[in-house]
Amino acid sequence: MGRKVIVSVKAEFDVFGRLTPISFCWENGVQYDISKVLDRRRAVSLRSGGGGIRYTCKIDNRLVYLFNDENLWYIEKG
């Protein structure tokens, strides 16, 4: 099973109160801008366990699953 990488996320609320991540900082300190959020849904992390709201994000032409479990943000690794 993989592991969770806890990340620091910059996010904003729209006028309807919906939370949208706009960037995150990886464990090595590199910040990545999220060019587009393609999907958001309640889901389980199959690689690392746990769950919450899964954001399917486009970052540098790659798809990344960013999770928010109401207490923290994380990305699956491995």
CA angle 69, 55, 2 (to 5 degrees): 65
Residue type, 14: D
Which residue would you say has higher pLDDT here, 49 or 1? 49
Q: Name the DSSP letter for residue 29.
A: S
Quick check: 1 pLDDT over 60? no
pLDDT of res. 3 = 84
Q: What's the pLDDT tens digit per position in 21-74? A: 999 999 899 999 999 999 999 998 877 777 899 999 999 999 999 999 988 999
What residues contact residue 30 under an 8 Å CB cut-off, 6+ apart? none
> The tokens of 62 are what?
């790659």
What residues contact residue 19 under an 8 Å CB cut-off, 6+ apart? 11, 12, 13, 68
